[in-house]
Amino acid sequence: MSRIVQKYGGTSVADTARFMKVARRVKNYHDQGHEVVVVVSAMGGVTDHLIRLANEVGGDSNDREMDMLLATGEQQSVALLAMALHGLGCPAISLTGAQAGIETDGVHCKARIRNITPERIENYLNDGSVVIVAGFQGSTQDNVITTLGRGGSDLTAVALAAVLHADLCQIYTDVEGVYTADPRIVPEARKISVISHDEMLELASLGTKVMQSRSVEFAKKFGVQLEVRSSLSDRDGTIITEETAAMEEVVIRGVSYDRNEAKLTLHNVADEPGRAACLFGILAAASINVDMIIQNASEEGRADISCTVPQGELKIIRRQLAARIVEEVGCDEIAYDEDVAKVSLVGIGMRSHSGVAAEMFAALAGEGINIQMISTSEIKISCVIAESAVELAVRTLHRAFKLEQEPGNGA
């Protein structure tokens, strides 16, 4: 017998037929003797409908009341799932976030979990019940309802798994797991069976949209073992777990890409201390998320500085900051390029295997793909390339590192 937290997103409970499907799956686990805690999101479409109503009364900017309103979506889901389980003869009890003991700070619409008091859940588990908790929500110490923001239901599940010392936290979604690359681009992409938290974090931050980084970070911090899997099939998903020595045997875990990149270049900057600091000071003050930075070899005391930012933020720079940057940094002009993308290799095996970067650059060069910027960490290498080449790059790297083959060991 183990203790399992399962999280079902909005598409898994899009209608009452899906609720019944989820209920049958939960009951199966319960029948096998597991202790099951289920975290549920709002039914697909419900949250959007509520936001529309809020807009109609002109109140979508009232964060406290938005939380009060949106929290009802998950509350409906937990009640319906509890009913469905009862109908199947499986004992189940529903709880709001507040009832489940999830205490947050008071930052409405993006609250952070401060503390969880799991006694009530423990008691119901001891009674043999499935416990169904509303995802995405909690309440402050003063009993004001809050929501956790994007990816909040995943976070609820991971936090509950941590505090309940669950053996596994299953995240049910509409994909079968984490893949070596986006299967829409690489048909031979393979579902990864095991991946470390760090690798998953890199993949998520580099564009692989399976789980939000915040939840994976939380899982890493508290040693929660995750499984990402599909609510539409019975196949095993991808286990995201603490790093083991054997994992390092696999050099590259996957290829990620992100089209939401844009590049700006400052030409002819005086090559003297403080110029870069001035530029990035202006960007930081405007909350622009700078990703990669390079500074070219200088000639005659002048340099070029390039950096990448999300595409939406490039617009802010062009409209609001460009003149000030040119004046304060002291450069000729700013060049913009929105037609760039980032392709990345991720794997903790890189730490102990040399030559990965060279192999990556060679593979891209072999297809005539020009590398504009490079950035590396201990477990990833990213290249900025032309956006038109991104699919070719992903396919090329997937093939070059033989990611379609199941690793012989370490996974």
Give the interface with a copy of itself as residue ranges (CB under 8 A): 16, 19-20, 23, 50, 53-54, 56-60, 62, 64-66, 68-69, 71-73, 75-76, 78-84, 86-87, 93-94, 96, 99, 143-145
DSSP 84-126: HHHHTT--EEEE-TTTTTEEE-S-TTS--EEEE-THHHHHHHH
CB of 144 to a copy of itself, least distance (A): 8
CB of 146 to a copy of itself, least distance (A): 13
- Of the pair 42, 385, the CB lying nearest a copy of itself is at 42
- Of the pair 83, 322, the CB lying nearest a copy of itself is at 83
CB of 49 to a copy of itself, least distance (A): 10
CB of 110 to a copy of itself, least distance (A): 17
Q: Of 191, 210, 192, which is closest to residue 201 (Cα–Cα)? A: 210
CB of 157 to a copy of itself, least distance (A): 19
- Of the pair 13, 194, the CB lying nearest a copy of itself is at 13
CB of 109 to a copy of itself, least distance (A): 13
How far is 358 from 22, CA to CA, in rounded Å?
47
CA distances from residue 378 to 103, 204, 342, 352, 353 in whole angstroms, order as listed: 36, 16, 17, 10, 11
Determine how many CB atoms are found less than 10 A away from the CB of residue 2.
12
CB of 120 to a copy of itself, least distance (A): 9
Backbone angles phi, psi at 402, to 5 degrees: 50, 45
How, if at all, do strands 130-134 and 35-40 pair? parallel
- Of the pair 16, 32, the CB lying nearest a copy of itself is at 16
Crossing angle of the two packed helices 63-87 and 46-56, in degrees rounded to 10: 150
Structure tokens at 64: 């406290």
CB of 8 to a copy of itself, least distance (A): 14
CB of 143 to a copy of itself, least distance (A): 6
DSSP 9-76: -GGGGSSHHHHHHHHHHHHHHHHTT-EEEEEE-PPTTHHHHHHHHHHHTT-TT-HHHHHHHHHHHHHH
CB of 395 to a copy of itself, least distance (A): 44
- Identify the H or E element spanning 131: strand 130-134
Q: Are 401 and 251 in contact (CB under 8 A)?
A: yes
How far is 274 from 236, CA to CA, in rounded Å?
53
- Of the pair 14, 386, the CB lying nearest a copy of itself is at 14
Contacts of 33 (CB under 8 A, 6+ apart): 1
- Of the pair 83, 326, the CB lying nearest a copy of itself is at 83
How, if at all, do strands 3-8 and 168-173 pair? parallel
- Of the pair 80, 158, the CB lying nearest a copy of itself is at 80
- Of the pair 143, 352, the CB lying nearest a copy of itself is at 143
- Of the pair 123, 311, the CB lying nearest a copy of itself is at 123
Q: Are 167 and 2 in contact (CB under 8 A)?
A: yes
What letter represents residue 1's amino acid? M
- Of the pair 87, 355, the CB lying nearest a copy of itself is at 87
Q: Where are the alpha helices (DSSP H) in 222-355?
A: 275-285, 311-316, 322-325
Backbone angles phi, psi at 307, to 5 degrees: -150, 160
